[in-house]
Structure 1
């Protein structure tokens, strides 16, 4: 399959600040990187992709370099500086309607990019595309002269990738004459033919038929209107594609958010279930603890009641023992055993018995108090 190779030289740059505005248009990537943001009238420009552009200015020594900001000026001014330097060599005064520069657009067939470099919007041109665009730039250098190339910019922020080349129509004898470089329809056909031959030599499967733009000599107003309509249609398609892609990204993001929220809800439900189970177990443990306390309290109450009964029994026994009938009292006072009055032996035995009973009562009371304290601790 063969592809077209577009050569558009219809843009003319005159005096009165036109050149500086043109340079700020084609070198917008360099200006933005340096912090300068100038409005762009081209509706096809996608600002988000401007950083992918690549601008070179003639270094005046047969080569080129990236423009930079000098003394706080925007980098695009370096292209204007080179233009003014070259114009300074013109031997005649410039006419008011002089064409200082021609802007040439070199563009590979959009179908070629669709077939061989479809991801250029995201990743830029591949090696093959760069080689072909380099071949077209090489043809421009050989056709117009390296010293007449102010600079060029590879634009990747428009509908299709393209090379913008700024050319000064300055002859070797110091005349500014665009007619010497763009002589008319027949010479235009020659330029197209030689450009296609250069592209074929570089391996680009170029289509050799004369294109619509060649037949209309690049400057036809009807062709321009048609080109504008085609650009508008392409821009609308591009905007629709980007809107659809943006919608797909939002939907994917929304799906991801929903998945994350669902996972978070499930995790919270699991955590709540675990806390609920722990709370229920804590309630069961508390109920069991209260049941054990009630049992201990009941046991303590029973123990206290039994101790009280036993204490009363012992007090009754002690009272009975302490109470001695009157006739026994008289008998104890009269009788002697082993030369000792029986009273003395009786009193000694009674004292010993009281001490024993007192010790027993105190022991029971201590046991009762210890039982109550243990119950309090267990509670």
Structure 2
């Protein structure tokens, strides 16, 4: 597959009316902007955010090119005008007011080549292969028009496709300002195209050996500009649609991420709720067990109180019976015997058992704080 190679030398820069300065500032807009000088430009194809990616150089007068700088706080582009002035000083005859002192030459690789070999040039600039191809086209311009006639050049990356802009002044070795010596007519124009393509092919650029539409035009017509504008608008529409699509995708991805996050939160809350429910069930079971044990304790306490009441009543009755024993019974207990043992011994044993029973009842009452103390009128059993 071959790629086109565009050669456009249609732009003529006249001597008067500030044409030279306006054209130079347009070409070298990156260095002026970098130095803090900003000038208005009529070209609607310019994307200002990418102007800093441009690369501009001025003829150093010694067979090469160098970076521009601000002199005496003037715009750096003034150095291009200064070199042009020095080159025109070599012209033997006075310049006419309508003289064309400079031609703008555009050398442009096929936009398809950038799509396939340097597709990220809008963000990251030119890669090594692109630089090599553009340098090859600049070398051809130096050979074709003489390096000392190239006032400077700029690689523009802030338009719809990268292009090399060369500023050339048509000064002959004999000291004449003559465009016809460099642009002799249609036949020579075709020769220039043919030799440029051959030069680029030798340099390694897979060039297509046909003249492009723009290269056939000797002038930059309004029709070509309109086509360029339509291409720019179409490209912008595609980029806008792409941006809209990417924004939509990003929005959908965000919504999906948010939904996943919500599901995770819901799952977490459900897990926490299940744990809380389980703990509540365990707490309820513990409370119910405690309640059952409390009820059992209450029942047992009630039974103990009832038993204590019965024991106390029995003790009270026994004390009353003992109070009824007459003194002659006392004497009888001392005299009577049973089975060889005095009756008093049997009586004392019975009384000891009664006292022991009473002591046990009192202990039970002391262990139960709800049990009332014995009444004050309860009589004690005496030995």
Q: Normalized against structure 1, the TM-score is what?
A: 0.76
Greater mean alpha carbon deviation, residues 25-34 or residues 260-269: 25-34
Once the two structures are superposed, residues 33-84 of structure 1 have per-residue CA deviations (whole angstroms, 9 ceiling, x without a partner) of 56665544322233454454333333444333444567776xxx32321431
Partner of 2:195: 194
Q: What SS does structure 2 have at the residue aligned with 1:10?
A: strand
1:58–1:151 CA contact under 8 A, matched in 2: yes
Partner of 1:295: 292
Find the aligned partners of 1:101 and 1:130 in 2 and give their Cα distance. 25
Match of 1:87 among 85, 88, 99: 85
1:4–1:108 CA contact under 8 A, matched in 2: yes
Q: Please, which runs of 5 or more residues in structure 1 have no aligned partner?
A: 370-379
Greater mean alpha carbon deviation, residues 319-328 or residues 291-300: 319-328
Find the aligned partners of 1:86 and 1:48 in 2 and give their Cα distance. 29
Find the aligned partners of 1:210 and 1:352 in 2 and give their Cα distance. 141
1:148–1:170 CA contact under 8 A, matched in 2: yes
Match of 1:328 among 325, 331, 336: 325
Find the aligned partners of 1:333 and 1:214 in 2 and give their Cα distance. 158
Greater mean alpha carbon deviation, residues 124-133 or residues 224-233: 124-133
Partner of 2:12: 12
Find the aligned partners of 1:309 and 1:72 in 2 and give their Cα distance. 117
Find the aligned partners of 1:129 and 1:326 in 2 and give their Cα distance. 135
Aligned Cα root-mean-square deviation (Å): 3.9
Q: What SS does structure 1 have at the residue aligned with 2:76?
A: helix
Q: Kindly state the Cα deviation for residue 125 of structure 1 after the two structures are TM-superposed.
A: 4.8
Q: Kindly state the Cα deviation for residue 23 of structure 1 after the two structures are TM-superposed.
A: 3.8
Partner of 1:312: 309
CA gap of 1:349–1:35, structure 2 versus 1, over 3 A, is: farther
Q: Kindly state the Cα deviation for residue 149 of structure 1 after the two structures are TM-superposed.
A: 2.4
Find the aligned partners of 1:250 and 1:82 in 2 and give their Cα distance. 44
* 2:153 paired with 1:152: yes
Once the two structures are superposed, residues 243-270 of structure 1 have per-residue CA deviations (whole angstroms, 9 ceiling, x without a partner) of 2321331232133223212311321221
Q: Kindly state the Cα deviation for residue 311 of structure 1 after the two structures are TM-superposed.
A: 1.8
Once the two structures are superposed, residues 146-184 of structure 1 have per-residue CA deviations (whole angstroms, 9 ceiling, x without a partner) of 333232222233223211112233445666555554455
CA gap of 1:290–1:125, structure 2 versus 1, over 3 A, is: same
Find the aligned partners of 1:10 and 1:162 in 2 and give their Cα distance. 15
Once the two structures are superposed, residues 280-330 of structure 1 have per-residue CA deviations (whole angstroms, 9 ceiling, x without a partner) of 213322321231122022112102211211221222122123224565142
Match of 1:224 among 221, 226, 240: 221
Partner of 2:246: 249
Partner of 2:142: 141
Partner of 1:237: 234
Find the aligned partners of 1:70 and 1:278 in 2 and give their Cα distance. 78
CA gap of 1:209–1:302, structure 2 versus 1, over 3 A, is: closer
1:57–1:78 CA contact under 8 A, matched in 2: no
Find the aligned partners of 2:6 and 2:136 in 1 and give their Cα distance. 13
Matches within 5 A, 1:1-379: 2-13=2-13, 14-31=15-32, 38-67=39-68, 77-88=75-86, 90=89, 96-113=97-114, 120-121=121-122, 124-172=125-173, 178=179, 180-185=181-186, 187-207=188-208, 216=217, 218-219=218-219, 224-324=221-321, 328-331=325-328, 334=331, 337=334, 354=355, 357-358=358-359, 360-366=361-367
Find the aligned partners of 1:326 and 1:359 in 2 and give their Cα distance. 22
Find the aligned partners of 2:367 and 2:95 in 1 and give their Cα distance. 129
Find the aligned partners of 1:326 and 1:304 in 2 and give their Cα distance. 33
- Structure (1/2) with the larger helix percentage: 1
1:58–1:79 CA contact under 8 A, matched in 2: no
Find the aligned partners of 2:314 and 2:178 in 1 and give their Cα distance. 149
Find the aligned partners of 2:279 and 2:269 in 1 and give their Cα distance. 15
When Rg is computed on C-alpha atoms for both structures, the one with the higher figure is 2
CA gap of 1:60–1:313, structure 2 versus 1, over 3 A, is: farther
